[in-house]
Amino acid sequence: MKNQKVRLNKYIASTGYCSRRKADELIEAGKVKVNGSVVSELGFLISTNDKVLIGRELIKPQELTYIRYYKPAGYITSMDDEKGRKTIYDILPEEVHTLKPIGRLDKDSTGLLILTNDGDFINSFAHPSVKVPKTYRVCAQGKLTLNDLTLMEKGIEIEKGQIAYAFARIIDFEGKNTVLEMVLYQGLNRQIRKMLDILGHSVISLKRIAMGPVDLQGLKKGQFKYIKPKQIQQIKAYLKKLERGKNNISDV
């Protein structure tokens, strides 16, 4: 950025500290200082020579990094866990420990995670109004019927006042079990497991295979790969189209 002036919220997002929206909240709350003075003005302009603190933490821009990661079972999606459970950061190399996941997969689930230090990107991808489709391959106990699929599409109350939706199709039957492809536009906790439990079909295995246009192609379990800048630009274009409400977008 050299010495050109940039908005304070954009500068904060460029450090990976948080998204621009969250930065605006911090600024309005008087938690941001520039050169020792509290700044509460939205749209405040700074240069890269200015010293920015949030609380007592000095923040600086960093190179934005994005990876695709194939999470194995047995690890939670968290930087640390007060219960002492293993996290993905116990097996990821230290070079990516500053990256944060977009969304989560529970301990027993496997599949795609996207991790980055780009706060704006995380907010755009995960914001519920954007409705990025997330695709899962699920093996469930018993044989599901077309009526089960219809019930999931219409919505199932998984908690009091909380309705979960899923678009599902049957891929195969493996003995007495059903293999499904399920697409979610929500991010409710353990959504698929709760929906299928209510229908009487416990989940045997659950793997996320795609998040919007990003998938597991070329990844082995436990492996990660950096997402190239050109691909990131394509993903950002995809997200902008979703934000405008264009639902007929093909993968990029």
Total residue count of the chain as it appears in this document: 252
Q: Which residue type occupies 49?
A: N
Strand pairing of 203-211 and 134-140? Answer: antiparallel
Which DSSP helix (H) or strand (E) runs through 28?
A: helix 20-28
> CA-CA distances (angstroms) from residue 74 to 69, 83, 91, 110?
15, 14, 11, 9
Residue 106 annotated as catalytic:
yes
Q: Which of 216, 242, 237, 239 is nearest to 227 (CA)?
A: 216
> Residue 12 corresponds to which tokens in the numbers above?
């904060």
* Residue 96, SS3 per DSSP: helix
Q: State the catalytic residue, choosing from 24, 80, 90, 106.
A: 106
Strand pairing of 6-7 and 162-164? Answer: unpaired
Q: Annotated active-site positions, please?
A: 106
